[in-house]
Amino acid sequence: DTGVSQNPRHKITKRGQNVTFRCDPISEHNRLYWYRQTLGQGPEFLTYFQNEAQLEKSRLLSDRFSAERPKGSFSTLEIQRTEQGDSAMYLCASSLAGQGGDTQYFGPGTRLTVL
């Protein structure tokens, strides 16, 4: 069990550019979550996948954001036309359905800075 991994760990981009983050969940976990954490706040839910199906999206996820989980393994989160307000830590978590009340295990996060 290698834990949840996320890449890159840090991303600095200019406003208007597109960025993509990757999350690799714990190998046997079929559920995957994305959260966003701004400075001084707790994480906020963005979206949820069960296997490859995206089953819920928060209203925080504007149409500039898209997430995928092809084949139910790794997931990507893309932000198009980045804005300074997108600067945050993006956290990925995974869990196994039916185990331990859906306990989520988090990755180290990707810190995005939009200049």
Partner 1 sequence: AQSVTQPDIHITVSEGASLELRCNYSYGATPYLFWYVQSPGQGLQLLLKYFSGDTLVQGIKGFEAEFKRSQSSFNLRKPSVHWSDAAEYFCAVGARSGGYNKLIFGAGTRLAVHP
Strands 110-114 and 105-106, by their bridges, are unpaired
12 touches partner 1 by CB under 8 A: no
Task: Report the site for partner 1 in 33-92 (rule: CB under 8 A).
Answer: 33, 35, 40-45, 48, 50, 55-56, 91
Maximum CA extent, the chain: 42
Nearer to partner 1 among residue 18 and residue 41 (C-beta): 41
- The least CB distance from residue 107 to partner 1, in Å, is 5
Nearer to partner 1 among residue 7 and residue 80 (C-beta): 7
Q: How many helices (H) does the chain have, and how many strands (E)?
A: 0, 11
For 26, the token pair is 């714990």
Q: How distant, in Å, are the alpha carbons of 26, 29, 50, 98 from that of 3? A: 5, 10, 18, 19
In the complex, which residues of this chain contact partner 1 (CB under 8 A)? 4, 6, 31, 33, 35, 40-45, 48, 50, 55-56, 91, 93, 95, 97, 100-109, 111
